[in-house]
Structure 1
Amino acid sequence: MKAVTEQDIRTSFVNCSKGEAGRLPLPRDLDELPWDDLDFLGWRDLSAPGRSYIVTEHEGRLTGISLRFPSQQRGFLHRSMCSLCLTTHPGSGVSLQTARKAGPAGREGNSVGLYMCTDLACSLYVRGKKAVASGARFKESLTVEEQIDRTKANLAAYVAKLFG
């Protein structure tokens, strides 16, 4: 992913108001992020449990998405798989994250959900730059590049549902 600025991020959101986008907290370390290793920018809102955000390129445009997820914790013995990167996590490492749809459908209360890594570090898990709390990811026959392409395709499909 190309490095983005605060202004780029704030103007990219498609499922919240301009006022909400202007007030949402951004990652503090934007200049220090490993942009070459990111397929999308994802972060949790530490001031509002259950809120997170994704910024990605979709159909040639930067697209920001405001997400919600349940803040209740699961037991450590419970395991779930992220639908984006197919990484499994124990406990609450994967959450059903829902996004209000863009446009009139979103204003009517329609939303789309997907099970994702709660910390939204899918890009780093796929590349082996971040370890899963319980150890290693499943071994796959796909190359890392193919896993990256699959993660990008899964995210693109999710984002497309926001406009449908």
Structure 2
Amino acid sequence: MNPLTEPQIRASLVNATRSERQRMIVPGLAELRWDRLDYLGWRDRKQPLAAYAVAEVDGEPVGIILRAPGTSSRRAAMCAWCEDVGDGDDTSLYVARRAGAPGRKGNTIGTLICTDFRCSRNVRRRPTLAEAGADDDDARAVVVERRIAGLRERSRRFLDEVRSTA
């Protein structure tokens, strides 16, 4: 992911009001390893039920506000973005208000995402022998690249659904 500035992140939010953009607390951008991120996701420390995700779509940042879970389900679940399986504390249902008129009418869309937005780290973990099919660094690299591509595609698809006014 290309590094983003705070103004770029605020401007990228497709389902936010002006006041929501102003209230948003942006994480420390200087500390991020942008080259190891496929999207930027975080929970707002001042607003516990607010979360955000920003990804590049067609070379431009597209961001959304998500409603973070108040409590976890305490059940094992698979993240829809990175396809990693975790317990109830690791994966949560996040809900986003749709952009435009549908969102103003209260239409939302939800998905299961890693609670702490660690998808980029999950897809880069070393594949097991069973996943790679061979004890070979090249075979493992192929698995990691496939995971990264899948994460990028699935997160972008969700952002497109939030932006869709159909």
Q: Secondary structure at the match of 1:86?
A: coil
Larger radius of gyration: 2
Counterpart residue type for residue 160 of structure 2: A
Q: Percent identity?
A: 38
Q: Partners in 2 of 1:119 and 1:50 — Cα distance?
A: 13
1:75-127 CA deviation, whole Å, 9 max, x = no partner? 3xx31110000111112211111100111111010011110001111001111
Runs of 4+ in structure 1 deviating by more than 4 angstroms, as ranges, are 136-139
TM-score normalised per structure 1: 0.87
2:139 is aligned to none
Q: Secondary structure at the match of 2:106?
A: coil
Q: Partners in 2 of 1:146 and 1:21 — Cα distance?
A: 34
2:102 is aligned to 105
Given that 2:66 and 2:97 are in contact with CA atoms closer than 8 Å, whether structure 1 keeps it comes out as yes
TM-score normalised per structure 2: 0.86
User: Structure 1 residues 110 and 91, CA, compared in 2 at 3 Å: closer, same or farther?
Assistant: same
Q: Partners in 2 of 1:13 and 1:20 — Cα distance?
A: 9
1:45-85 CA deviation, whole Å, 9 max, x = no partner? 1222222100111233211100013211343xx31110000
User: Structure 1 residues 81 and 108, CA, compared in 2 at 3 Å: closer, same or farther?
Assistant: same
Stretches of structure 2 that go unaligned for 5 or more consecutive residues are 133-141
Counterpart residue type for residue 55 of structure 1: V
Given that 1:12 and 1:62 are in contact with CA atoms closer than 8 Å, whether structure 2 keeps it comes out as yes
Range that drifts further, 35-44 or 87-96: 87-96
Stretches of structure 1 that go unaligned for 5 or more consecutive residues are 130-135
Question: CA RMSD, aligned part only?
Answer: 2.0
